[in-house]
Amino acid sequence: MNADGLGFWAAVAAMAVITYLTRALPFMLSERSRLLRHLSREGSALAALGPSLLAGIAAAVIVPDLLAAGEQAAIIGPYAGGLVVTAVAARLVSNTGAAVLLGMAGYGVLLALAG
C-alpha cells in the first residue's frame, strides 16, 4: 500500500476518528441519554458496527495486495488460509476479537511456510 498519498492519510485519520468515537461516546453521554439507550439496546442495528469496521479495515488492507499479487498462488494462499481460519474460528468461538487474532496467526503461519 502506498503510504505517500493523501488518500492513505485520509483513511488513517478517518479510522482514528471512528475508533475514538466508538470508544469515547459511551463516556461522553449521560446514563439517561436516549441515544446511549438506543445504541446499547439488544438487537440494535448498530450491533454489527464493530465487526463491520473490522471487515472494512481488512478489505482495505487485503484487496490491494491481492490485486497486485495477480496469479501468484504463493501470495494468495496465506490470505485465503487466514480468511478460512478466521471464518472457522468465528463460528466455533463466537468472539470476533478471538477470531481475528486466530486468523492473523493462521495467516502468519501460512506466510512463513510459503516463504
E strand or H helix at 85, and its extent?
helix 73-93
**Global pTM value:** 0.51
CA distance 58 to 60: 5
Spatial contact of 1 and 8, defined as CB atoms under 8 Å apart: yes
For 28-55, the pLDDT digits (tens) are: 777 777 777 776 677 766 667 777 777 7
For 43-90, the pLDDT digits (tens) are: 766 667 777 777 787 788 777 777 776 666 667 788 889 889 999 999
Domain ranges of the chain: 1-32, 72-114
Q: What angle do CA 13, 18, 24 make, to 5 degrees?
A: 120
Amino acid at the residue 79: Y
Amino acid at the residue 97: G
For the record, the C-alpha cell of 4 comes out as 505517500
